[in-house]
Structure 1
């Protein structure tokens, strides 16, 4: 989080950090709702199924800083933890993911500072999602603050797989048995196949509808 005005003094309590990051989440959620409505108006189609937003807990932030060998200070939280504020955008089809990425990239006041395309390049675990770190301006009464937000974009099927993998990771404290890891990878391949088949089916349906309207 960077202050456009002033030297950063005053942003020194957890409550103030939460205030700013909650505002950033609201801005992203509102922007995506507007873009979704516009897409419906122009194309008669909603690319976004639903949106989830969350603020990382203080315990998770402290754990992440300690893992990186950093002191648990407000300054370090703001500077080094990119996912204090997180938005997850769930789509029906893989093609929707890249539509949303393009729409976000065209917003003048949303600045993309990092991306990780785990759809084109999945993790070895099978995890697939599109991650973006962006900054959005939060306008307070006496200053404007650029706050970082992590955006994850994935299909419904990818989200289902990721949710199960997350639960397994914590149940086994990151050390699941090899047979479970192997099964998860196989399930991830099935998810990829399902997404591809559903996208193909949707395209066939749209083609039939267009031909009937001509």
Structure 2
């Protein structure tokens, strides 16, 4: 009969498997708290839907085309923890990973993006943590979008928890480019030649010009009414 294995007698492969199991176990424990993040998504979506409905009622206009949402998978959370070298605790995950809950808001025009963002973060229970404006300062790839990290209170049966939610706000045109660019990179395993990267960026710039022209036309028509 073989002797009982201890940490000192485990092979490197076994140690890695044990480490992975431990991390997965921690993630699974964290998943028990995911309903709080799901509640955060619901809160933000409700706020946005109320704002959009108010605009429709008062101005006969909807600034929001549609809203999407997602929760990061345990595998994705685990990858981010490893990449950042974070400790495997719920508190560490909660404080350092701010995009577990995500909401994407697709607007009709560029001005709508900033209008919706200002109205949302102006609400008393919405705490703005960070803003990254990739519209005014696009990524080198040509990607454009307004990114917000906010925290909102979630009222539970016995406590109140502040939950971080990442909000991406972009136009239909920006979303069109970002979605196709993501699919193209996914098909090639994120390996894209410099020539194709440049072509994708030119497409992004062209779409941005169209976005601005559509905004100008929309503004002119509003002024004529």
TM-score by length of 2: 0.84
| Distance in structure 1 (CA, Å) of the matches to 2:144 and 2:206 | 12
Higher relative contact order structure (alpha carbons within 8 Å, sequence separation ≥ 6): 1
**CA displacement at 1:72 relative to structure 2:** 4.1
Check the 8 A contact 1:66/1:72 in 2, yes or no: no
| Residues 184-206 of structure 1: CA deviation (Å, up to 9, x unaligned) | 10000111111011111212222
**CA displacement at 1:155 relative to structure 2:** 0.1
| Residues 90-146 of structure 1: CA deviation (Å, up to 9, x unaligned) | 001000001011101210001001000000000000000000000011000000000
- Which residue, out of 150, 153, 170, partners 1:137? 153
Residue 108 of structure 2 is aligned to residue 108 of structure 1: no
TM-score by length of 1: 0.88
**CA displacement at 1:67 relative to structure 2:** 1.2
Residue 74 of structure 2 is aligned to residue 36 of structure 1: no
RMSD: 1.4
- Which residue, out of 176, 183, 190, partners 1:160? 176
Structure 1 equivalent of residue 167 of structure 2: 151
| Distance in structure 1 (CA, Å) of the matches to 2:187 and 2:76 | 16
| Distance in structure 1 (CA, Å) of the matches to 2:152 and 2:196 | 40
Pairing 1:1-214 to 2, within 5 Å after superposition = 13-208=29-224, 210=225
SS of the residue corresponding to residue 53 of structure 2 reads helix
User: Which structure carries more helix by proportion?
Assistant: 2
SS of the residue corresponding to residue 13 of structure 1 reads helix
Which runs of no fewer than 5 residues in structure 1 stay unpaired?
1-11
Larger Rg: 2
| Residues 119-177 of structure 1: CA deviation (Å, up to 9, x unaligned) | 00000000000000000110000000000000000000000111112223333333311
